[in-house]
Amino acid sequence: MKSPSSKSVIIKFADYHQKDFGNLSRITGVIDSKNMVRLLKAANLEANPRKPKKGEVTESIIDSLTQTPELFHFKSKGLLLSSGKVSEMERHRFQLNFEDLEIEGVLDGGHNCLGIGLYLLDQVIDDDDERKSLDKVKLWEDFEVLWNKYCSYFDEIEPTQFYVPVEVIFPSNDDVELENFINSILDIAQARNNNAELTEETKANKKGFYELIKQHVDPTIKDKVEWKTNDGGTIKARDLIALSLIPLSVLPGKIKGGVEDNLFEVNPVIIYSSKSQCVERYNNIIDNDKISEKVKGDIVKVTCQLVDSALSLMKDFPKLYDIIYEKLPDAYNNSSAGFGRISCVKIYEKDKTKKSEKYLHKSPKTKFYSKDVTFSYPDGFIMPIVYSMRELIIAEDNQVKWIVDPFDFIDKNLDKILETYYSQIQVANYDPQKVGKHIGSYKLVSSAVKFILTEILYSKAK
């Protein structure tokens, strides 16, 4: 039975060759523009490790189709597709079934899909306003909106004739184990995209490493995250991954099932200074066989309740980050006036006659929720405070939770923290790099938070 998201399409090859190679079969050939329309209606790019965006590559594809459509199949490497089941029909026709859209569909050739799709839409969109929308398409998601609106026009209009090279990989017979097929497809997809410099986040996302972060993060920012290359998000996945190490660092080395003592240990400095190390550290945690298990080829699912529980706090950390960023300038000034005079600090100024490098005439925004703020400054100043929120977390009874409300804590105690912390900024000569890269900054703020928390708990116990 097909899954709710499964699709199928019948395409006719103008010319093709089929060959079996062990557990896999391959069809190589060319399809015409009419069948390309059918394919674009059915296939998606979820199986592709990265998504395309409009640029020089897509412009070159459109130019080639516009100037010499009859030569396009000689110039282009075309598309690589995967399908869990392919049924041969008469007259060079094949039915391609895409059951699992995470691994079946377009493995390689996303830019060709986007370029060809834009070229096709140009043939059916006459409305001036819609043509402006077509010109504004930058990402695959932008294209999909227009394609879904206009693709039915091709039911009555023949597109300009051209041919596209297509390669289809599928199991050679019904006896091929699903896991073998999935592993092969994942390997092929990564190999074909190696020249695209896939980020570690994109590769790990494909393996399901970030599903728990997606599940627990605030839905209002989830769709703004660039989980895979060219996904179009304004928030980098690695920024969330770095923050996730904070609640994970609270976990004990010895947990149910047993893992190495230092699995969850993290040097807080890397959360500020090396997001790539954070990605590697997080991936190593999730890839541990005591933390997750493979459920579909190399795709994993976290089975450790404590890790799941720790990552559930990711609904709070991006918001905490933004709140601290917004409130720190006033808290600093309450201890030592002059935050705005720090050289790296920029100030929003509505009066555009004030033309100094110190002033910004466009309001700066916070990293995750894009809230307007008055000051813009490097996050080296706030990372020790964000990291210190781990002191408000406890892991017990197979659950990770806040000891006190972190938002209330920041609201009431950020001034107290700065009474101690502002001197660290001054000692570092107001250099955010020195502050963010000095382990002493994190120890100092964590000690201050721990002391304030102790006072709160003592007061409640009285």
Instruction: List pLDDT tens digits, range 405-419.
Output: 999 999 999 999 999
Predicted pLDDT at 258: 52
Q: In this structure, what are the phi and psi dihedrals at residue 158, rounded to the nearest 5 degrees?
A: -80, 125
- H-helix or E-strand spanning residue 265: none
State yes or no: pLDDT of 189 exceeds 60: yes
Predicted pLDDT at 412: 97
Predicted pLDDT at 240: 95
State yes or no: pLDDT of 298 exceeds 80: no
Least confident of 31-40, 200-209, 442-451: 200-209
How sure is the predictor about 133, in pLDDT bands with cuts at 50, 70 and 90? confident
Q: What is the sign, positive or negative, of the torsion defined by CA atoms of 290, 296, 297, 298?
A: negative
* Helix pair 110-121, 140-150: axis angle to 10 deg: 40
State yes or no: pLDDT of 3 exceeds 50: no
β-bridge mates for residue 8, sequence order: 97
List CB contacts of 320: < 8 A, sequence separation 6 or more.
386, 389, 406, 407, 410
Mean pLDDT of 268-278: 91
How sure is the predictor about 261, in pLDDT bands with cuts at 50, 70 and 90? low
Predicted pLDDT at 197: 47
Residue % of the chain over a pLDDT of 70:
92
- Tokens 């399901």, located at residue: 208
User: What DSSP character marks residue 358?
Assistant: T
Burial of 462 (0-12, 13-18, 19+ CB in 10 A): exposed
Q: Distances from the Cα of 175 to the Cαs of 29, 171, 299, in angstroms?
A: 26, 9, 22
Candidates 394, 460, 387; CA nearest to 417 is 387
Higher pLDDT, 407 or 51: 407
Higher pLDDT, 48 or 307: 307
Q: In this structure, what are the phi and psi dihedrals at residue 32, rounded to the nearest 5 degrees?
A: -85, 175
